[in-house]
Amino acid sequence: MSYQATFRVWRGDATGGDLQTFTVEVNEGEVVLDVIHRLQATQAGDLAVRWNCKAGKCGSCSAEINGRPRLMCMTRMSTFTETETVTVTPMRTFPVIRDLVTDVSYNYDKAAQIPAFTPRPRDADGNHRMQQIDVERSQEFRKCIECYLCQNTCHVIRDHEENKAAFAGPRFLIRLAELDMHPLDVVDRKHAAQDEFGLGYCNITKCCSEVCPEGIHLTDNGIIPLKERVVDRKFDPITFLGAKIRRRPKD
Amino acid sequence: MELERHSYDVVVVGAGGAGLRAAIEAHEAGARTAVVCKSLLGKAHTVMAEGGIAAAMANLYPEDNWRVHFRDTMRGGKMLNHWRMAQLHAQEAPDRVRELEDWGALFDRTADGLISQRDFGGHRYARLAHVGDRTGLELIRTLQQRTVALGIDVYMECTVTRLLTGPDGITGAFGYWRESGRFVAWQAPSVVLATGGIGKSYKVTSNSWEYTGDGHSLALQAGATLVNMEFVQFHPTGMVWPPSVRGILVTESVRGDGGILKNSAGNRFMFDYIPDFFRKETAETEAEADRWYDDKKNNRRPPELLPRDEVARAINSEVKAGRGTPHGGVFLDIASRRSAEYIRKRLPSMYHQFKELAEVDITAEPMEVGPTCHYVMGGVEVDPDTEAARVPGLFAAGEVAGGMHGSNRLGGNSLSDLLVFGRRAGAAAAAHASGRPRADLPDEALADAGRAALAPFEREGGENPYTVQHDLQQTMHDLVGIIRTRGEMEQALERIAALKERVANLSVEGHRQYNPGWHLALDLPHMLLVSECIARAALEREESRGGHTRDDFPATDAEWAKTNLICSRAPDGSVELRRQPLPQMPAELAEIFEEASA
Q: Say yes or no: A189 contacts chain B, CB-CB below 8 A.
A: no
Q: Judge whether residue B92 has pLDDT over 80.
A: yes
Comparing alpha-carbon positions, the chain A residue that sits nearest to B511 is A46
CA distance A24 to chain B (A): 15
- Taking only residues 25 to 84 of chain A, the set having a beta carbon closer than 8 angstroms to any beta carbon of chain B reads 27-31, 34, 40-42, 45-60, 74, 76
Of the candidates B36, B2, B159, B16, the one whose C-alpha atom is nearest the C-alpha of residue B522 is B159
Task: For B482, list phi and psi in degrees, rounded to 5.
Answer: -75, -35
Residue B581's beta-bridge partner residues?
B563
Q: Is B460 exposed, middle or buried (0-12, 13-18, 19+ CB in 10 A)?
A: exposed
CB B53 within 8 A of CB B416: yes
Over range B264-270, report the average pLDDT: 97
**CA B457 from chain center: how many Å?**
32
Identity at B358, one-letter amino acid code:
A
Q: Which helix (H) or strand (E) holds A96?
A: strand A96-98
- Distance from the Cα of B372 to chain A's closest Cα (Å) equals 14
What is the H or E stretch that residue A188 is in?
A: none
Per-residue pLDDT, B573:
85
Q: Determine, for residues A55 and B248 on separate chains, whether the beta-carbon distance falls below 8 Å.
A: yes
- Tell me which residues of chain B, numbers 457 to 516, contact chain A at a CB-CB cutoff of 8 Å: 464-467, 470, 508-511, 513-516
Locate the DSSP E strands across B122-202.
128-129, 153-155, 158-166, 169-177, 183-187, 190-193
DSSP string, A9-69: EEEEETTEEEEEEEEEEE-TT-BHHHHHHHHHHHT-TT-----S-SSSSS---EEEETTEE
State the pLDDT at residue A244: 61
State pLDDT tens for residues B339-387.
999 999 999 999 999 999 999 999 999 999 999 999 999 999 999 999 9
- Helical pair A170-181 and A105-113, crossing angle rounded to 10 deg: 30
- Helix-helix angle B135-150:A132-142, to 10 degrees: 70
Backbone angles phi, psi at B53, to 5 degrees: -110, 120
Q: Measured between CB atoms, which of A31, A52, A145 is closest to B137?
A: A145
Calpha distance B507→B509 (Å, rounded):
7
Using an 8 Å CB-CB cutoff, list chain B residues near A182: 104, 106
Distance CA B327, CA B330 (A): 9
- List the catalytic residue out of B255, B301, B313, B346: B255
How sure is the predictor about B598, in pLDDT bands with cuts at 50, 70 and 90? very low
Q: What is the pLDDT of residues B534-556, one digit of tens each?
A: 999 999 999 999 999 999 999 99
For an interface test with B, the pick among A142, A181, A185, A187 (most B C-beta atoms closer than 10 Å) comes out as A142
Any alpha helices (H) in B257-328, and if so which ranges? 276-279, 286-292, 308-320
Phi, psi of B214 (to 5 degrees): -55, -50
Phi, psi of B7 (to 5 degrees): -135, 130
What is the nearest CA distance from B73 to chain A, expressed in angstroms? 25
Is residue B331 classed as helix, strand or coil in its secondary structure? strand
Write the burial class of residue A232 (CB in 10 Å: 0-12 exposed, 13-18 middle, 19+ buried).
exposed
B190, β-bridge pairs: B10
Chain A from 137 to 156: CB within 8 A of any B CB: 138-139, 142-146
SS (H, E, C) B55-114: CCCCCCCCCCCHHHHHHHHHHHCCCCCCHHHHHHHHHHHHHHHHHHHHCCCCCCECCCCC
**Phi, psi for B431 (deg, rounded to 5):** -65, -40
Catalytic residue among B45, B69, B96, B235: B235
Cα B168 to chain centroid distance, Å, stands at 30
Nearest by CB to B114, from A40, A56, A129: name it.
A129
Query: Which of B156-160's residues contact partners 24+ apart within 8 Å by CB, and which partners?
Result: B156/A108, B156/B15, B156/B37, B156/B39, B156/B40, B156/B41, B157/B37, B157/B38, B157/B39, B157/B40, B158/B36, B158/B37, B158/B38, B158/B184, B159/B38, B159/B214, B159/B519, B159/B522, B159/B523, B160/B13, B160/B36, B160/B214, B160/B218
pLDDT for B237 equals 96
- pLDDT of A243 reads 60
Q: Do B39 and A99 touch (CB under 8 A)?
A: no
Q: How far is B186 from chain A (nearest CA, A)?
A: 22
Per-residue pLDDT tens digits of chain A, which is 251 residues long: 799 999 999 999 999 999 999 999 999 999 999 999 999 999 999 999 999 999 999 999 999 999 999 999 999 999 999 999 999 999 999 999 999 999 999 999 999 999 999 999 999 999 999 999 999 999 999 999 999 999 999 999 999 999 999 999 999 999 999 999 999 999 999 999 999 999 999 999 999 999 999 999 999 999 999 999 998 876 666 666 666 665 555 55
- Tell me, what's the pLDDT at B99? 97
A71, B352 contact by CB (below 8 A): no
Which of these, B61, B68, B49, B47, lies nearest to B116 by C-alpha position? Answer: B61
Strand order in the sheet with B3-7: B3-7, B183-187, B169-177, B158-166
Per-residue pLDDT tens for B319-338? 999 999 999 999 999 999 99
Which residues on neighbouring strands pair with residue B369, listed in sequence order?
B239, B330
What is the DSSP pairing of strand B117-118 with strand B128-129? antiparallel
Cβ-nearest to B43 among A52, A111, A138: A52
Q: Is B509 in contact with A139 (Cβ distance < 8 A)?
A: no
Average pLDDT along chain B: 96
At residue B21, φ and ψ (nearest 5 deg) are -65, -40
Strand partners, B375: B233
Alpha helices in B504-567 (DSSP H): 516-540
Q: Is B255 a catalytic residue?
A: yes
Note whether B29 contacts A: Cβ–Cβ < 8 A. no
8 Å CB contact of A129 and B134: no
> What pLDDT does B265 receive?
96
Burial of B140 (0-12, 13-18, 19+ CB in 10 A): buried
Which one of B356, B358, B514 has the shortest CB-CB distance to A74? B356
Tens of pLDDT, residue by residue over B58-84, are 999 999 999 999 999 999 999 999 999
Nearest to A53 among B47, B470, B516 (CB): B47
**Within its chain, how far is the Cα of B208 from the centroid?**
12
What pLDDT score does B243 carry? 87
Q: Please give the Cα distance from B190 to B12 (Å, whole number).
A: 8
Asked if the C-beta of A14 comes within 8 angstroms of chain B's C-beta atoms, the answer is: no
B436 catalytic? Reply is no
If contacts are CB pairs under 8 Å, which of residues 297-326 in chain B contact chain A? none
Instruction: Determine contact, residues A171/A152, Cβ cutoff 8 Å.
Output: no
Q: Which residue of chain A has the CA closest to B249?
A: A55
To test the contact with chain A by mutation, choose from B134, B137, B146, B150 the residue with the greatest count of A C-beta atoms within 10 A, namely B137
Residues A56, B242: C-beta atoms closer than 8 Å: no
What is the rounded average pLDDT of the residues B405-420? 98
CA neighbor of B8 nearest in space, from B42, B35, B44, B41: B35
Average pLDDT over residues B88-95: 98
Q: Return residues 229-258 of B near A (CB < 8 Å).
A: 241-245, 248-249
- Chain A residues with CB under 8 Å of B35 CB are none
What share of chain B in percent tops pLDDT 70?
99
C-alpha to C-alpha distance for B413 and B402, rounded to whole angstroms: 13
Q: Say if A127 is an interface residue toward chain B (CB within 8 Å).
A: yes
Radius of gyration (Cα) for chain A, nearest Å?
22
Q: Tell which B residues from 91 to 120 touch A, by Cβ distance under 8 Å.
A: 98, 101-104, 106-109, 112-116
